[in-house]
Structure 1
Amino acid sequence: MRYTTFGRRTGLRVSEYALGTGNFGTGWGAGAEPDEARRMFDKFAEAGGTFLDTADGYQFGESEELVGKFIAAERDHFVLATKFTIGANPRPGISTTGNSRKNLVASLEASLKRLGTDYIDLYWVHFPDDLTPMEEILRGLDDLVSSGKIHHAALSNFPAWRVSRAATLAELKNWAPVTGIQIEYSLVERTADRELLPMAESLGLGAALWSPLGGGLLTGKYRRGPEGRLTDFKTLVHTESSGQKTAVVDTVLAIAEETGASPAQVSVAWLRERAAQASTSFIPIIGPRNLAQLDDYLGALDVQLTAKQFARLSDVSAIPLGVPHEATAASRNGLQGGDASLITQPAVPVA
């Protein structure tokens, strides 16, 4: 396991994988029993993993409770991230959800109690609620940073324009900065290439990437039957709903045959190489449900794709960038005074 800082705007050191713990517990009716969750946590830690990602809503709070027990003996060794917006109650109420200052403070206090800690390293706003002004969110997060109850704040599943505005507001107001984004990204979900990931690189934000296997599609298992997230959670799952997705799975399976690696390992190896080429940190969030799945993820750390294999996967999964990117690309030479290849840009500095 290697390590990086979480983006260019923090000195927070994190492992190159984050362990997503949405499967820790069975409150949703599916997931890992506590003993299996403990085995996964221990194996991840033994492999050098330090970055843990949970949320108050995962398994209706059971995930946070288990994570809190697991890290208790070495709390300061781990980088702990959790989220608020949805709440832990199976029957959410109007005053216990959303991103208001009221719910922000109450949610953090409840998470601290479940996690058995007095601080959170990285606190995510889980989803935009389309009601709370960004100024209220940022000012509330700034108070929590000032109090020491959280160290860093970040936005999950927010559109690029809102993240950019939030980062600018925080900078202008001298509030705690927005340090990162959390978004879905994989070989079968690359729409973040249009705006979100270029924004993260430009602003130096860390990017935590969830569902790196497309809800299991990239393992090829759904060609054998529906068992898995498709039957248990019935949400956040990709299917072969387009010719491109079928072509992506075909290519992953073909390269798995060539390398001797599993399809999951090939898919994550592509993501790791994609991260290596970025100018900020891209961190895959792995979400195993059992020890065998975790072993598969860890095995990807030893898979090295050739340049041609990486290109095949990148090409088959590429998406149209749309407006205005395609028009800009078509006219780039003219915009840069003729031959754009004659212009070089300096490397991105560490701010």
Structure 2
Amino acid sequence: MRYTTLGTETGLRVSEFALGTSNFGTKWATGADQAASKQIFDSFAEAGGTFVDTADTYQQGDSEHYLADFLAVDRDHFVVASKFTFGTAGQTGISKTGNSRKTIVRSLEATLTRLGTDYLDLYWAHSPDGVTPLAEITDTLDDLVRGGKILHGGLSNFAAWQVAQAVASARAGGRNPVIATQFEYSLAARDGERDLIPMAESLSIGGLLYSPLGGGLLTGKYRTSAEGRLTTLNSIIQREDTAQKTAVVDAVLAISAETSMPAAVVAIAWLRARNARSRTALVTIIGPRTLDQLGSYLAALDVELSAEQYDRLDAASAPVLGIPHDSATASRNRVLGGTADSFVRPDEHLVAP
């Protein structure tokens, strides 16, 4: 397991994989009981994992309850993140959900109680609520940092312009800035390359990437069965509904056959290599439900794809960036003329070709 700081504007040290714990609990349609969750947690820790990501809504609070027992042995060894916005069992409704100051403060109190700790390393707004002003969210997170209840704040599932505004305004006002953003990213969903990843690199904040297997799509299992998230949750999933996604799954399965590695390992190995090419810290959130699933994620730590294999997957999954990115590329070529392919900016040596 490699380690990094969560962006270059903070010294918060995290493992390159974060353990997502939405499967810790049995109150949803799928999940792991406490004993199975403990095995997953312990195995992750034994592999060197230190970063744990949960939310008050996961398994109606069970995820945080389970983690209280798991973390009690050495709480300060782990970087613990949780989220607010959607509430949990008995805490839903107009006054107990969303991103208002009231909701944030009360949600944090409940989360700290369930986790059996007096602070969080990172506290996320889980999603925009469409109502609360961005300044209210960041000001409240700043107050919680100053009060010692959390060490850092983050924004999950927010647009790049919202995150950029939050970071810039906080820095300009001398407040504790948002240090990271969280969004879906995988070979099946590289939309983050349009704005989110460039924004994170530009502002030197961290990025946490969830659903690295596209909800199971990249394992190829949905070609032979609907078992999994497709039947249990019917959410947070990429479907094989475009020609490009079919080409991506074909490429993953082809390399899997060539290397005798599971398709999941191939997909995570590509993502790990892609993260290493970023100019800021990109951390992959893995969310295993079983020890076998955890083993597939961890196996990717020892896999190096060949340049040809990486490029094949990269080409098959390349996103269409659209406007204004396409026109910006055309403008660069027009301005630089025949030197466009050989012209390198001073900072571009940091990124592998």
Unaligned runs of 5+ in 1: none
1:1-351 equivalence runs, <5 A: 1-89=1-89, 92-336=92-336, 339-340=339-340, 341-346=342-347
- Alpha-carbon deviation of 1:69? 1.0
SS in 1 for 2:183: strand
Kept in 2, the 8 Å contact 1:268–1:300? The answer is yes
- Alpha-carbon deviation of 1:337? 7.6
Q: 1:132 to 1:3 in 2, by over 3 A?
A: same
Distance 2:90 2:221 in 1: 30
Kept in 1, the 8 Å contact 2:142–2:176? The answer is yes
Distance 1:202 1:49 in 2: 27
Q: 1:343 to 1:301 in 2, by over 3 A?
A: closer
**Which contiguous aligned blocks of 4+ residues in structure 1 show a shift greater than 4 angstroms?**
none
Kept in 2, the 8 Å contact 1:261–1:303? The answer is no
Kept in 1, the 8 Å contact 2:9–2:205? The answer is yes
Render the CA deviation track for 1:199-224: whole Å, top value 9, x for unaligned. 11111111000000000010111112
Q: 1:133 to 1:252 in 2, by over 3 A?
A: same
Distance 1:139 1:160 in 2: 19
Distance 1:264 1:304 in 2: 14
- Alpha-carbon deviation of 1:236? 1.1
Which amino acid in structure 2 is aligned with residue 285 of structure 1? I
| RMSD value, Cα | 1.4
Distance 2:336 2:46 in 1: 51
Which amino acid in structure 2 is aligned with residue 23 of structure 1? N
Distance 2:90 2:269 in 1: 36
| Identical counterparts, % of pairs | 56
Which amino acid in structure 1 is aligned with residue 281 of structure 2? S
Q: 1:342 to 1:244 in 2, by over 3 A?
A: closer
User: What is the TM-score when the length of structure 2 is the normalising length?
Assistant: 0.96
- Alpha-carbon deviation of 1:36? 0.4
Which amino acid in structure 2 is aligned with residue 344 of structure 1? R
Which amino acid in structure 2 is aligned with residue 302 of structure 1? D
- Alpha-carbon deviation of 1:90? 6.0
- Alpha-carbon deviation of 1:338? 6.6
SS in 1 for 2:124: strand
Render the CA deviation track for 1:78-118: whole Å, top value 9, x for unaligned. 00000000011267210000000000000000000000000
SS in 1 for 2:261: coil
Distance 1:245 1:66 in 2: 36
Kept in 2, the 8 Å contact 1:211–1:286? The answer is yes
Render the CA deviation track for 1:233-260: whole Å, top value 9, x for unaligned. 1111122111111110010000011112
